[in-house]
Amino acid sequence: MRADEERAFTEYAQGRVLELRRTAYRLCGDWDQAHDLTQTALIRLYRHWTRVAQTDSPDAYVRRMLVNVFLDHRQSWWSRRVRPFPEPPDTPAPSEDVADRLDLMAALARLAPGQRAVIVLRFWEGMDVAETARTLGCSPGTVKSQTSYAIAALRRLLPNYVGEAA
Amino acid sequence: MNDQQIAALLAAAPQQPEPPLPPGLLEDLVPAARRDIRRRRTTAALCTVAALLLGAGVLLTPAGGTDPGPAQRPPGRAGLPDRVAGYSPLTGSVSDAPPGRAIMVYGYGNSEMLRTYQSLVLSADTDAYRQLDAMPDRSGPWLLAPDGRTIVLSAADRAMAEVQVVDLQSGQTRQVPLPRAGGVTPLALSPDGNTLAYSIVDTTPIAEDMARDVGNLIQRHATEHSELVLLDLRTGQATATDAGPVSAAAFAPDGQRLVVQSRLRTWLVGLDGRRQQEVMVPQGYGITVHNAWSPSGLLLAVVPWAVEDWGTDRAYVLDYRTPGAVRTVSLAEPSVLRGTADTETFLGWLSDTEVLGQSWDYGSDTGALWAVPVDGRSPRVLSRFDDAYRCEFGLQRCVPYEVSVAAGLLPELTVRPAGPLDRGPWPAGIRLAALVVFVVGAAGGWLLRAILRRRRGRRFAP
């Protein structure tokens, strides 16, 4: 990679790293793991930067890389045997806000990785169906069906939220 | 719960304060990415080299691995698998991976619509099969030495000035020049495999018919017009005999004399080439074409012979019209027919009371090798040929042709269950074709990957 390209990549990474890390955290629910996912996605981006930089939407490209890194990681042997979310520590009972957040993250963690990615991209990142489909590399119909399954699962996992949100 | 409720739920979820970026995440990003690229390139290069070396090793190495080939294993008792393996074009060649001593050499295939044929050697010690690449595309005038270590080859359709001797230990083929050229039919090899008895005939009178590719012409012409020659395969020294014309011969177990079929008469001939005495076998009978002399030296296998006379010429042939074809006589009283062995083709003696025959097994509907008692009792199957439809691209069964056995190994022969096949490395032509397919496939895969990556990249383009 040429020096000017490398400089452009560094500027881009600095400008997007927090946003990417936030998406990564929403996908995996763990800050340490989010750092790893972000760094891995940016390293992948470096490999393809010459081509990505010429596109109009490097953000979409790198977001797709991040989701792929997350899904790859979830399919690995190690991650299938080690729970990314430990049991809540044996500490004093958290406040109500913290407890709600733990419930939500625990419910998301119990979704299949693909369904979790659909929920995060559509409802947390605010993408429409087409954008989500492009980012996940699947058809809009798959996004719709996975969304439906994920919502059904969340309905079972978060019975307390149903009433509040309805 | 619907889409809006989910969105509201996530938006209303209390936010956790974001921790600071870990030190070095951004600073080490570019060096880590450079290392990642270097590691990927190195891995890709190493994998490519390893795949090429592995592919080249598998495809081009004549005999890979550390397992000693059949030729290097010390021989025990000679054995015959109870099932002869089916046809496979992937069977390796004798010169690439010598099989060691063999129990039989045979042609195998079928040519009803499409020609699929192999000349095969079956090891006497393992389930190793090899193609006889010195004579790959037709069976015919060949002889497996009694000890199974060499094969003598001639040609059925042209005059020869030498015979080929294939060493099954080394896989090498050498030429042994003949005193004069002619139509050569190998008839017998001495027990040590060093002396070849062959008939030679002038092919000039039959040149026209040979040009028309008439089958077995030299062999038939030799029964009336040939001479018998004894050739020392080590020195090339030839001894002419006065025993011609000759149509069959067999060495005595001690290798000191031969029994020779000349027209409808049978003679004992010394190694000096002189006739010693006539063996007065019953009229109309003569010795089998190969391996007529029993292991004890006391008996001869005889079969009916007939003369075909068409006015201008004659030929002597086996008379298949006579039932109970293979009989035995003793040298002490040769005029009396003794045993009867019910077999279609006599191959050799297992003992003085049993012969090895090749006949169709109608129960299994396939060719088979049989132990046939000479006292008329029922024969028993030793080994069956494969009955699957493997020839002519699955249209036909394969049929064995011109089976020649190591007669000296038959008395000690054991039959063992057929084990894992050893077909040796693929033939050179198939290895080359596989290498081409491998390279083209790898290049195609690389190209496809590049195209897919380019298309994937374009999805994000405006």
- Fold exhibited by the domain A92-166: Arc Repressor Mutant, subunit A (1.10.10)
pLDDT of residue A87: 47
95-114 in A: which are within 8 Å (CB) of B? Answer: 97-98, 100-101, 104
Q: Tell me the C-alpha distance between A3 and B387, whole Å.
A: 71
Asked if residues B105 and B132 have their Cβ atoms less than 8 Å apart, the reply is yes
- Note the pLDDT tens digit of each residue in B209-231: 877 777 778 888 888 899 999 99
Secondary structure string (H, E, C) spanning B21-66 = CCCCCCCCHHHHHHHHHHHHHHHHHHHHHHHHHHHHHHHHCCCCCC
pLDDT of residue B69: 61
Residue environment code for B232-250, b if the CB has 16+ CB neighbours within 10 A, otherwise e: ebeeeebbebebbbbbbbb
Residues whose CB falls within 8 Å of the CB of residue B333, separated by 6 or more in sequence, listed in order: none
Helix (H, G, I), strand (E, B) or coil at B201: strand
The whole-number average pLDDT for the span A142-155 is 87
- pLDDT tens string for chain B (462 positions)? 667 777 777 777 666 688 888 888 888 888 999 999 999 999 988 988 888 777 776 666 554 444 556 665 556 788 999 999 888 888 999 998 999 999 999 988 887 777 788 899 999 999 999 999 887 777 678 999 999 999 999 888 888 899 999 999 999 999 999 999 999 999 999 999 999 999 999 888 888 887 777 777 888 888 889 999 999 999 999 999 988 799 999 999 999 999 999 999 999 999 999 999 999 999 989 999 999 999 999 999 999 998 888 878 888 888 877 655 789 999 999 999 888 888 888 999 999 999 999 988 888 888 899 999 998 888 999 999 988 788 877 788 888 888 999 999 999 999 999 988 899 888 888 888 888 898 899 899 989 988 886 665 554 443
What DSSP element (H or E) covers B400? Answer: strand B399-405
The whole-number average pLDDT for the span A14-28 is 90
Interface probe for B, chosen from A51, A63, A65, A69 (most Cβ of B below 10 Å), is: A51
Tell me, what amino acid is at A16?
A: R
Identify which has the larger pLDDT, A148 or A165: A148
Burial class (CB in 10 A: 0-12, 13-18, 19+), B307: middle
Diameter over CA atoms, chain A: 57
Test A154 with B6 for CB contact under 8 angstroms. Answer: yes
Average pLDDT along chain A: 79
Asked if residues B298 and B352 have their Cβ atoms less than 8 Å apart, the reply is yes
B3 contacts in chain A (CB < 8 Å):
122-123, 147, 151
Test A97 with B14 for CB contact under 8 angstroms. Answer: yes
Tell me which residues of chain B have a C-beta less than 8 Å from any C-beta of chain A: 1-3, 5-10, 12-14, 16, 18-19, 21-22, 25-26, 29-30, 32-34, 36-37, 40, 457, 459-462
The whole-number average pLDDT for the span A126-151 is 87
- Note the pLDDT tens digit of each residue in A79-111: 544 444 444 444 444 455 555 555 777 788 888
ipTM: 0.74
Interface probe for B, chosen from A98, A121, A123, A144 (most Cβ of B below 10 Å), is: A123
Cα–chain-centroid distance for residue B300?
28
CATH class of A1-85: mainly alpha
Query: Looking at the complex, does the CB of residue A144 fall below 8 Å from at least one CB of chain B?
Result: no
Question: Any idea where the domains of chain A sit in the sequence?
Answer: 1-85, 92-166
Q: How many CB pairs under 8 A join A and B?
A: 101
**How far does the CA of residue A79 sit from the closest CA of chain B (Å)?**
22
Asked if residues B374 and B340 have their Cβ atoms less than 8 Å apart, the reply is yes
CA-nearest residue of chain B to A53? B461
Of B29, B37, B462, the CB nearest to A39: B29
A42 contacts in chain B (CB < 8 Å):
29, 33
Torsion region of A69: left, alpha or beta (phi above 0 gives left; psi -120 to 50 gives alpha)? alpha
What is the CATH number that goes with domain B79-429?
Answer: 2.120.10.30
pLDDT of residue B53: 79
B9 contacts in chain A (CB < 8 Å):
104, 158, 161, 165
- Note the pLDDT tens digit of each residue in A50-89: 888 888 778 888 888 999 888 888 766 555 444 444 444 4
DSSP state of B240: E
Test A55 with B460 for CB contact under 8 angstroms. Answer: yes
**How far does the CA of residue B4 sit from the closest CA of chain A (Å)?**
8
A60 contacts in chain B (CB < 8 Å):
460
pLDDT of residue A113: 85
CA-nearest residue of chain B to A128? B3
Has residue A161 got a pLDDT over 70?
no
B17 contacts in chain A (CB < 8 Å):
none
pLDDT of residue B462: 33
Residues whose CB falls within 8 Å of the CB of residue A155, separated by 6 or more in sequence, listed in order: A162, B1
CA-nearest residue of chain A to B25? A39
- Note the pLDDT tens digit of each residue in B155-165: 888 888 999 99
Asked if residues A20 and A42 have their Cβ atoms less than 8 Å apart, the reply is yes
2-41 in A: which are within 8 Å (CB) of B? Answer: 6, 9-10, 13-14, 17-18, 21-22, 25, 31, 35, 38-39
Test B26 with A13 for CB contact under 8 angstroms. Answer: yes
DSSP state of B293: B
Separation in Å, CA B428 to CA A94, B91, B222, B388: 75, 10, 37, 26
